[in-house]
């Protein structure tokens, strides 16, 4: 979220005191990320994350469980006084973390050694054993057609827009120019989904959002992984798709894969699964960004960012070009 939510600083200070026994003196909003359902703050030496919507609760437990197993690259929330990993604040779920000086990989490229460390960390995550009750709470991949249906329905709606909103008009012009690629994207993804439904389930616990803003380094050069909001039981390719998928913007795709798997270790990667997950993720993002532009009451800055992120998928060397590997 790029603009503060409709909450007063004193409300967060009071919630920190009541739920966490943290006597914060200052609250500063941090304009981080493109997710309009998440907001970030610094409260003295604490990082405060607000989350609304269905995601977050299971992810907080997963991150905490992984950290407890010694996977310290996982940035996990601290427990509140009642033992829970979040508390409710005016319709938001509030999570609290130690404040760390972290730099996203998109801003400061991972070194060769850090790429290998990233790989080794994700191997530990994918091989981790978590409690059965927690495992069963995590959703399971289902290859459903909902996002593809939504993009098919949205495309003509975008093209038919006849209002005067500049961002919506810009989106209309762009989707008209890229309609053929959008249709091909949907059709290819549908074919891949049909194939994936025939495959035996080989599920592991996946982070699902390992882009260059969620993989970071700390002041000591150690890799840290944040935003465990939407864990999923899925083939490991649901996470491996990000490696070489135009998400980090520095090394070549081949070098990203070579360095990452130096740390991750040997594994038979299902390239069909990688392509499916990449294309499905692009479609999901296009739907969410288009809705934010057309239908939301978000700030102009949030909606302009959504248009930027919508377009970037189609740029030369972007995620759509990288989808097939």
**60, pLDDT greater than 70:** yes
pLDDT class of 250 with cuts at 50, 70, 90: confident
Query: Which pLDDT does position 38 carry in this prediction?
Result: 87
Residues 86 and 119 in one domain: no
Residue of 52, 49, 104 lying closest to 78 (CA atoms):
49
Residue 175 — pLDDT band, cuts 50, 70, 90? very high
Mark whether 186 and 89 lie in a shared domain: no
- Asked if residue 198 and residue 298 are part of one domain, the reply reads yes
Q: Are residues 127 and 233 in the same domain?
A: yes
In the chain, helix, strand, coil percent, each to 5?
A: 45, 15, 40
Number of domains within the chain: 2
Domain end (from 78, 99, 120):
99
For residues 264 and 131, membership in a common domain is answered with yes
292 in the same domain as 224: yes
Final residue before a domain boundary, out of 60, 81, 99: 99
> How far is C-alpha 214 from the geometric centre of its chain's CA atoms?
7
Shared domain check, 204 and 93: no
Domain span at residue 195 reads 101-325
Q: What CATH number is attached to the domain comprising 63? A: 3.30.200.20
Q: How confident is the model at residue 241 (pLDDT cuts 50, 70, 90)?
A: very high
Does residue 54 have a pLDDT over 90? no
Is pLDDT above 70 for 179?
yes
Residues 91 and 117 in one domain: no
* Beta carbons of 127 and 51 less than 8 angstroms apart: no
One domain, residues 137 and 60:
no
Residue 121 corresponds to which tokens in the numbers above? 């960390």
Using one digit for the tens of pLDDT, what is the confidence trace for 18-46?
A: 999 999 999 999 988 767 788 999 999 99
Output the average pLDDT for the chain: 93
CB-based contacts of 182, cutoff 8 Å, min separation 6: 151, 155, 175, 286
H-helix or E-strand spanning residue 40: strand 38-43
Residues 240 and 305 in one domain: yes
């Amino acid at each position: 979220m790029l603009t503060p939510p409709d909450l007063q600083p004193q409300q967060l200070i009071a919630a920190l005191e009541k739920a966490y026994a943290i006597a914060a003196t200052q609250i500063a909003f941090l304009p981080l990320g493109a997710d309009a359902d998440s907001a970030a703050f610094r409260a003295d030496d604490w990082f405060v994350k607000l989350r609304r919507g269905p995601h977050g609760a299971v992810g907080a437990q997963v991150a905490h469980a992984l950290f407890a197993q010694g996977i310290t690259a996982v940035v996990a929330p601290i427990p509140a006084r009642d033992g829970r990993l979040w508390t409710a604040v005016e319709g938001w779920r509030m999570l609290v973390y130690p404040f760390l000086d972290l730099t996203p990989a998109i801003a400061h490229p991972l070194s060769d050694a850090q790429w290998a460390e990233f790989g080794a960390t994700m191997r530990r995550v994918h091989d981790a054993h978590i409690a059965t009750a927690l495992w069963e709470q995590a959703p399971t991949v289902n290859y459903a057609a909902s996002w593809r249906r939504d993009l098919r329905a949205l495309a003509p709606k975008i093209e038919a827009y006849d209002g005067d909103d500049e961002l919506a008009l810009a989106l209309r012009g762009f989707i008209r120019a890229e309609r053929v690629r959008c249709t091909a994207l949907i059709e290819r993804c549908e074919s891949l989904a049909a194939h994936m439904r025939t495959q035996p389930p080989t599920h592991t616990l996946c982070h699902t959002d390992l882009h260059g803003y969620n993989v970071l380094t700390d002041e000591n050069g150690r890799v840290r992984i944040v935003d465990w909001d939407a864990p999923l039981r899925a083939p490991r390719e649901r996470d491996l798709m990000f490696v070489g998928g135009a998400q980090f913007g520095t090394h070549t795709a081949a070098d990203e894969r070579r360095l990452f798997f130096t740390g991750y270790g040997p594994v038979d990667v299902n390239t069909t699964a990688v392509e499916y997950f990449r294309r499905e993720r692009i479609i999901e993002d296009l739907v969410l960004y288009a809705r934010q532009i057309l239908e939301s009451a978000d700030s102009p800055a949030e909606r302009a960012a959504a248009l930027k992120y919508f377009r970037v998928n189609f740029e030369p060397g972007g995620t759509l070009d990288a989808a097939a590997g």
